[in-house]
Structure 1
Amino acid sequence: MLPLHDKIVAITGASGGIGEATARLLAERGAAVVLAARRGERIDAVAQDIRKEGGRALACVVDVTKADDLRRLVSTTVDRYGRIDVLLNNAGIAPISPLADLDTDGWSAMIDVNLRGMLNGVAAVLPVFREQGAGHLVSIVSVAGLTVSPSMAVYAATKNAVRTVHEGLRTESTDGVVRTTAISPGYIRTDLADSMGDPQLRERTREYMDAMGIPPAAVARAVAFAIEQPHDVEIGEINIRPTAQA
């Protein structure tokens, strides 16, 4: 029997990168996965690939900045599979720039997607977890929040806020119903740099990713490790980065 045969997992930002890699790995290990992202055609294609390989997968178009979309993701998952065991908050953007550039639109976008999107997920799934008597919230954070680098102040702030919410939820969940796991990747070969408006920062980030980045599957394995644990074991935080990254 596959290790995750009894898990139902909804994943935001599942149209590529870490989200897609995690959906594929969890499905290989027996989980039913619900892929959520704005790019409907892309998540439809990934879900179809998973089903062709014998896995269980469903696609749901979601914009994480809209609370109604997250509620629909949770209800769609429960309607299809009877429950939701894990919500993976993975959607994120990084239109980073020096604070002196005053890119207030970029700041707002990061707050809306990286932080508010995660909170929308919490608001949608927490009542269901409580009703079920069990559930696991996993969020992709970033090592950028551990050591703040130039041009990354607001991005790091949103990621640190997610980490803080996780810790708060953990302290409020010692009744054993809800587990939380925050996973902070370093340089991973994804398309995150595409959301960066500054061409020099975008190119430099791509160079770092090409030079030292590890594949998204490395993070997917960390997600699988956390959710494979028995319910009385909580993996609170994982930092995963290339060995070459300072």
Structure 2
Amino acid sequence: MKLIFKSIQVICLFVLLSSCKTETDNKNEVLVLGTIHRSHLTSKEFSIDKLTKLIKEINPDIILTEIPSNRFAEAMEGFKRDDSISEPRVLRFPEYTEVIFPLSKTMDFEIIPTAGWSASMARERQQKLRAISRDSTRKEDWKKYIDANKKSDSLMAITGNRNDPYFIHTNTYDSIYNIGLEVYNDLFNEELGLGGWDNINIAHYWNIEKVLQKYKNQNKRILITYGAGHKVWFLRELRKRDDIKLLELKPFLDQLK
């Protein structure tokens, strides 16, 4: 009887350990790729060709994009119809029109829109910022904002090439880029409403997190592609998760050499 009981204990322990091992082994790999939007068209360091090769090297199962869900269907429909994209919002991002959508024809990945942006939000943000810049009672706030951006730009210029993918994917880049963004956020986030910096990133990340939950522990490689300025915000939140393996981009860049 004791032997049977011990055997049951061993089996239960084995099942438990096997279950834990499987869950750990099945963690999704997540990478955050900071894009430079239209600068991909002119940059030698981070050209359309290099971005294409990089995504091939990463070989993702899922790509999360800076495209609102209500713009994605139209963009994909046009691409499937005549290999071109005319949807205005998506058209602004060559990383999608010239790289990711075309690659979807030859690679096996799913494109998921995750942007929390909307046209009305952008218009309201633009109007409020214009009003603040012209408000005589807000001159000090506006000067702080402009000065912080100048400081960020000057440090960026002497520290590294802001279009170099190696530099973009460093903590140094994030720290410098964040100088202007932190002041912008502290001064205007609440006032800009949904278009504020923290607020829009919360909206973006909410959609990203829903995808991470949906595909949790499915052993997939998930690539997040947003403008490089969003990277520091997303990484801070992703590092809080223990159900993913957060990968560095450098090893994939090294493979392109």
Under TM normalisation by the shorter chain, which class is it?
0.3 to 0.5
Q: Point out which structure has higher relative CO (alpha carbons under 8 A, 6+ apart).
A: 2
Of Structure 1 and Structure 2, which has the larger fraction of its residues in helix?
2
**Larger Rg computed on CA atoms:** 2
